[in-house]
Every structure is written in structure tokens, then in C-alpha cells.
Structure 1
């Protein structure tokens, strides 16, 4: 025999559930009947997508659906068919583990928020959302992003913070409209150099990762104004193109440097890691760059000055890694803009000697690192002039 208290609690819960279901059915019915564009279903304790919403007609007028703080675990396969005009789907704080392939049928979707769920995989069909402008995936369990994300040409906002990412896809540079990229609190060891080609990127936040170096060209385009790399403990060098940008780097350069490091150079007892793609670090005594570098620069200049449509390279002309470098160089000389492919001539400018130092009062070991293409540029370039 159940205790009276438990009996009344069960009755009250059942009564509340009936009231909630009645309110839910009423809200959906009114929205469909009156052809509403917005439907608010936040905090409704939903365990599945309401079937009433996808039955009969009326839902085709909906453009915005908000379903925050429910218990959804997946989405129905016929969303695109039943909600053809949907532009915003807000699913923050649910238990969604799987996004069906049918998500790609929401051809008018502009904003998708799947933050605070339990996603481990993002299906490649996400790339079919050609109208998508804002994609928020923070606080999930994603280990990688599909390369198809590069098909989102209209994407302006991408937030993948607090996941399990170890890398970002190189195809992100094809998201030409991207303005805001956040990948805080992941396990990123580096960033693809292709990110530097995002000419519209205004803010980049990659705090609390495992970064030891940043792409040389980061900040080369003037649109990038805000860069946050705080709490990357083994990051000691900032690309000189970030000079005079708004930079957050609290907690960087604060760890004991590891003996096992990528290619690096030492300046004033400070060891700065550079990209493992760099084959050689040049010094003031190196008067001639390596032959491979000279050849790559020659081919690059010929390719980019030749008449439109003339391709001097066949698919087998160069090894694959060098062919990729030809289109996406490691960086450009801060002094003369010469592209660099295998070698750099680094020159450090301690933060304590720059205007940024006033913000930190000498409490940091960070340096700006200018990457030059030759001994000549290395000797004449001065970041502070």
C-alpha cells in the first residue's frame, strides 16, 4: 500500500502533466489555425518532437520554433516536408544525441542552435543548409566537424565551444561570410593556416585549448579585430599581424616548456614553437633561401601572373603537400608580402616593448613574432616603426 503522501504527489504530477499537454495542444492548434510565424515551446518537458505539430496543415507558415530546455533526444525525418519555411530552430538545452540526415531538407533555415545537447557526431548533410547564417553547437561532445561545413557559404556565426575537438576542418576557409568563430575549451593543438583566408572574419576565440603556435598570417586581413587565445599555456608567440588588434592572452606562456617540441627557435631564453609544416628556420647568416623555397616562389609568381585560364601545373607536377602549399602558403612576409612555403626568418618583438604591454605591466612572456622571407627583410623590418 502506497503512502498517502506519495499517492497525492503522483496525482498532482499527473494533473500537471495533463494541464501541460492541454496547453501544448492548444498552443500548437492556435499557431496552425491563425498561421503564426513563431511558436514558443520552451520548458514544456517534451521528450519527443510534438506529433501534433507535423500533422495535417498549418505548420507550413511557421518560420521560428523555440524549444529550449526540454528532453528531446532526436528530430523527426519529415521536418523539411512539414516545415518548409522554417528559418530558425532553437533547440538549446535538450538531450539530442543524433541529428537526422533529413536536417538538410530545411532549405530556408538561417539559424540553428543545438547548444547544450549531447551530440557526438554532426552529419555531413549539415552542408546542405545553403541559407544557414548562424550555427551554434557549444557544449556538446563533438570530436570532429564534417568537411561539408565548408559548403555553408552564407554562414556568419559558428560556435563550437566546449566540445572535444582536436582540429578544425581546413574547409572552413570556404565559409566566405564567416564573421565570428568560437572554439573555446576544446583540445585544439593548432589551427589550419587556411583560416587566415577568411577575409570577413572579425572575431576569433580559441581560449583554453592546447595551442603552441598560431598561423603566421593570422590578422593579415584588417577585418579581423578581436582575437582571444587566453589560457593556452604553451603559447608564447603571437603573429605580428595581430599587432594593434584587440588580443586576449591571459594565462598564455605560463607553463614549464616541454622538452618534446615541434620546430622552434629561441629568443632571449624564450623558446617559441612554430608550425611543424615549416621545414627550416632561417637566420641572419643565411643569405640564400633553400632551393625548394626559391622554386616554390617562382612557380607561385608565375601561376598568379599568368593569363587567366593558363594553368602551368598538372596534377602530378608537385608532391601533394607542396601543391596544397602553392595555393595556401604558410604565410606572407610582414615586410614585403612575399609568400613563404618551407622557410621563415622569425624576428621577435617582446610584448613588454609594445603598446599592448601597458595592459599587462610586464606580467607576460608573450612576444610578437614577425615572419620574414629573407635576411634582407629580417634586418630592415621593425614592427614598432
Structure 2
């Protein structure tokens, strides 16, 4: 077996192969033949699926500097060396089905990376530096132990497909709504009780899968008429937290996202001064706010400054930005086109409006 491996690598060096397949080789360590002398300077794709590797060499980038794709699916890798950040040309990295407990921050230096797959590991968190991967199009972190996703993920402006099924996610950062290239979002089998108010506002987002989140009883109505997987959502369990905000219609009670600080009543005609001030600031500086180095011409507390850059949501009726108050309106699923598709009515849509007037006049069909 060793002689066969040696011959394969020798031929790859002699014939300057760009692709090297070392799948199913029962490898326990990274082959030293790949790292001898100048290494394989011309190699672009390395496949090492279903071996028993536990680590990667520190000089990987030095010996294989032109790697574009690295497939390490189904090994026993526990840690990624910091030196992986030196693979400047790497576009695809697959570390699914390993034993990873930590992803090093240096992964954020892979500025050419387009596809990152970390499914079925033991990750409890992701480094914020993932947000530095501006070219990233696919991120799969399903079947891990994640309870949150990094807020800086919204800086991955090229992200098209985000999969985080079978984790322990209780909420999603509302900043994900700023991913205007996102086409598919899959968060099945988590612990979600609500979704960000603006989720689905982008026209690019067409596929949302939140199946088997038993505490999830409501979906933002921006998701109306999109392709939605929601079977197994909702339950007959009573919400025990008396402080949890909710909106009710008959026997249906929908918990509202924790990011909503206050709920306006239908009879309320005057908005809080804080909300009026924030809306006025946002309206005046909405274009400038898109610049990362822009600061409003007045001092604001950090919490309000963060809201100014990323509002809680936008009115489903008139698109007005909302910061501290919303007016929720509930639409049971049986009133929508999806009722016939799923044959169920436990999951409803919730519209979030900026005023009582918008709430009264908003309808899903409009």
C-alpha cells in the first residue's frame, strides 16, 4: 500500500498533475512525500476523503501554494493549523465529518474562499473572522453544537447558501437580513422560537427551511410566497416565560422576537420620542450609513448606534425602518397559499408594521 502511494505521488510530481486523488488510503498522517523538497508547486486540487488523518502540516501552504480545492471529508482532524490562512488561492475547503472542536481565526485570511463545509463536527462556536470571507458563496455548518452564529457573518456579501441544520440555535442575528445575495437559508432541527423581522425582504432569498423547530410558531410575512419548509414547526406546548412578548388571535399565540422591545397598541397614535428621533436620523443619513466609516453628526449610545446601522426591521406595509416599537399583525397559515401545500395551520405569518394605520391596512395579498 505504501509503495502504491509513493508511486502515485511520484507520478504526480513527474507529470506535474494539477489534481491528486488520495481518497480511501487509510492514511493516518499527511504523506511526507507531498512535502519533500519543493513539494507539488503545480498542484491545484487535493482529494483526501475517508482517511484517518488527525492533523494537517504547518507548512502545507509553503509546499502546496497553488491549491484551489482541498477536500478532507471524513477524517479525524481535531484542529486546523493557523498556517492554513496562508493558502491564498484556496477557493473550496471541505472539512465535513471530522472531529473539529475549534476553527482558528486565521481562516478569515482565506480571501479567495468561495465554499466552506464544516458539517458534522463538534463546533460550539464560529470565529467572527468568518465575516472576512467576502467571496464566500456557500457555508455549511450543519450537525454541530452551535448555539449562535457570528454577527459579522453579514459581511460575507457574496453568500448565497447558508446551511446550519441540526444545531442548538435559539435565534438568528438580525444582521443576516443584510445578506442581499442569500438565496437559500436552511435552519432545520434547531431551537428557534422566532426569526428576524426582515428575513425574506431581499428578493434573492427564495428558499427557507426551518423544519422541526418545535418552538417556532410564526414566520415573518416577508417569506410569504417563497419556498418554505416548515413541517414540524410549532407545538401545543404552553410558553412558560410570562415575560415573553406575544401576539394572539383566538387560540393562536405567536411569541415575538426578543429584539422587539415594545409593542404598540392599535389605539396608540403617538410614537415614542426615541423612535421618532431614530427614524428621522435614519431617513436623513440612510445612504451615508452604508459607509463603514460613517459616524452621525452627534453622539449616540452604542446600543442606539448599532440600531441605526441595522434597524430591528422594516414595515411590511410601507418599508419604514423601525427601531424600538412595532405593530404586529397575525395571519394564520390557512389564509395563505401555503396552507394547501403543507396541509397544516400551526405555523402562521406575522407582519410587523410601523404604525397602527399600517397594521390596519396591511394584507398579505397586497
Q: Choose between structure 1 and 2: higher helix proportion.
A: 1
Partner of 2:305: 323
Q: Is residue 33–residue 58 contact of structure 1 (8 Å, CA) maintained in 2? A: no
Would you say 1:84 and 2:65 are equivalent positions?
yes
- 2:246 & 2:102 partners in 1: Cα distance? 35
Would you say 1:247 and 2:228 are equivalent positions?
yes
In structure 1, the residue corresponding to 2:41 is in which secondary structure?
A: helix
**1:312 maps to which of 286, 296, 313:** 296
- The 10-residue stretch of structure 1 (348-357 or 220-229) with the greater mean CA deviation from structure 2: 348-357
- 1:203 & 1:40 partners in 2: Cα distance? 31
Partner of 1:292: 274
The structural deviation recorded for 1:56 is 1.6
Runs of 4 or more above 4 Å deviation: 305-311
In structure 1, the residue corresponding to 2:286 is in which secondary structure?
A: helix
The structural deviation recorded for 1:259 is 1.2
Partner of 1:371: 352
Partner of 1:171: 152
**2:328 maps to which of 346, 357, 360:** 346
Q: Is residue 32–residue 57 contact of structure 1 (8 Å, CA) maintained in 2? A: no
Partner of 2:215: 234
In structure 1, the residue corresponding to 2:326 is in which secondary structure?
A: strand
Partner of 1:54: 35
Partner of 2:16: 35
- The 10-residue stretch of structure 1 (301-310 or 165-174) with the greater mean CA deviation from structure 2: 301-310
Could you say which structure has the larger radius of gyration? 1
- 1:293 & 1:82 partners in 2: Cα distance? 57
- 1:237 & 1:84 partners in 2: Cα distance? 49
Report 1:138-177 matches (<5 A). Answer: 138-177=119-158
Root mean square deviation of aligned Cα: 1.5
Q: Is residue 232–residue 251 contact of structure 1 (8 Å, CA) maintained in 2? A: yes
Task: Provide structure 2 residue ranges, at least 5 long, that are not aligned to the other structure.
Answer: none
The structural deviation recorded for 1:359 is 1.1
Q: Is residue 186–residue 209 contact of structure 1 (8 Å, CA) maintained in 2? A: yes
Q: Mark the CA change 1:218 to 1:44 in structure 2 (over 3 Å): closer, same or farther.
A: same
Task: Provide structure 1 residue ranges, at least 5 long, that are not aligned to the other structure.
Answer: 1-19
Q: Mark the CA change 1:335 to 1:64 in structure 2 (over 3 Å): closer, same or farther.
A: same
- 2:185 & 2:238 partners in 1: Cα distance? 25
- The 10-residue stretch of structure 1 (203-212 or 266-275) with the greater mean CA deviation from structure 2: 266-275
The structural deviation recorded for 1:220 is 0.3
- 2:198 & 2:352 partners in 1: Cα distance? 9
Q: Is residue 248–residue 330 contact of structure 2 (8 Å, CA) maintained in 1? A: no
TM-score for both structures, normalised by structure 1: 0.92
